[in-house]
Amino acid sequence: MQAISLHDNWVFHDDNPYAEPLFVNENGRILRFTLKPGQSVQEHTAPNSPVYIVVLKGEGLFSGDDNQEERFGPGALLIFDTAEPHAIRTDGEELVFVAFLHGVPEAPWHR
């Protein structure tokens, strides 16, 4: 068994959101995202995996394939289908969430 604290050692970058790989293996990956107020994750897709997001801190504006932003805060579980376009932004406060994905495409931390 492994244990990872989701609420410790948060790292925020001044210029861009930070996606910290907490766990990566051949079956999937778990990333912790930290955003400062005003930062955003531009619309993108995960072409080979659904994306499951759990908000840990703050409130953010999340949009899916309908492009309608909805505000979610701590404890929210968001589910995006495989290849569903999604985007995230925060306006007035820091936002921290964890994303769970299946499989591992070639990524800089995986090489």
Please write the tens of the pLDDT for every residue from 6-25: 999 999 999 999 999 999 99
Residue 94 lies in a domain: yes
Provide the domain limits for residue 60. Answer: 18-105
The HSE-up count of residue 27 (CA atoms within 13 Å, CB side) is: 1
Residue 36 lies in a domain: yes
Please write the tens of the pLDDT for every residue from 26-66: 899 999 999 999 999 999 999 999 999 999 999 999 999 99
Name, in order, each residue with C-beta under 8 angstroms of 74's C-beta and a sequence gap of 6 or more: 55, 56, 57, 58
Domain count, the chain: 1
CATH number, position 60 = 2.60.120.10
Residue 98 lies in a domain: yes
Question: pTM here?
Answer: 0.90
